[in-house]
Structure 1
């Protein structure tokens, strides 16, 4: 594990990985829905395998997340299912050409995708208050915080695919009206990095996590780990795979 990767995943406020350790010792099991052999969860059925619901944290998000998955994206390489398993009430996954109903007359919606016209998270408020009457969502950061805070958006769309596959989705006319948001440059910790791609190309679960972290910091309060558990599976698998690489002398 590089120092940068160690730094990015260290200090996270995570639920106990003890259930994952126990499940890993038992090994792969059959998914109760499709019968496929899986470890921790079935990426085809979006279901836990060898784990109970109580073993996995549930993360409450301040916005709804829609993930549009490319039909040729390999399920086993995608991290989108982790977001759905950890934030089931707020995350929905669609397989293109199916996309969510995007009604911009009732919600402020953005698409997270880089480009020349993409704005930053900091610029969201200015963009959506151009008419002087921003449509905002008021909510409490936590039960311990009685103050309400304003969020300039209600829904966020992510694309789950390799960069070579994104053109087909990003050029869909149904997405053209959505304003784009570009994340700050961060290095991925994903162990299945796309061949020939820079290390700033994030896995989907990383992109969701960093977007929410930035959103929270700018529109709610100082970030204190509210969405760290979105990396519950990702951080454990990262540690597991790096340990295996070290044992094999590949690190």
Structure 2
């Protein structure tokens, strides 16, 4: 599923300024933009039986998870603790920062939820080295939630797995280390694409990825995308276009979110 460039830009600005694990000192701006172009957008349709339908559950109390979620559109109901305290959260409420940054030895059952009205409560984290990040990725870390999150309306959200987050941190280290090296922009782009996409391919092979139908099984490299773009431009130059070809549409129509491609985000910045 795709979301509009405007919504992607809003998510980028919110993550980079408000959510500590995505601050520029940990994930660079260019890498965060690429991260948001990955297959991380999920959509839950409106369901009258949302209280009992398992497909409406984003987090289930007592179950181990390894991903972070931020709500982009719609509302969710959060049920906390044994007392089953309930409240609702809307756009830009986020959950699961501990699944990204928490280290071994910390109590994973401690509940923390952060939204726009609260300041983040995240374990301190440093950039580290490529070696330490490689060790972290092998630990298969999980976080056990003490709350349940259900979609009570139609919801669009981002789901970022720990493995993909660690890949983004590695890419940031690569980006900063290459400043003193003679490396072309194209070579670096291809290396970063390979690093980010390798996690998606691993998840797809293991059956743990819920990719939208019709997703490309083997993501294109920077060079392949460049050639494809050149071919499309050549075809477009010789073919007539309808007046509405470049118009963006981000309205909800019959419960389906229609929007323009995320790849145009840089044109809005």
TM-score by length of 2: 0.25
Structure showing greater relative contact order (alpha-carbon pairs closer than 8 Å, 6 or more residues apart): 2
> Max radius of gyration: which structure?
2
Instruction: Give the helix-richer structure, 1 or 2.
Output: 2
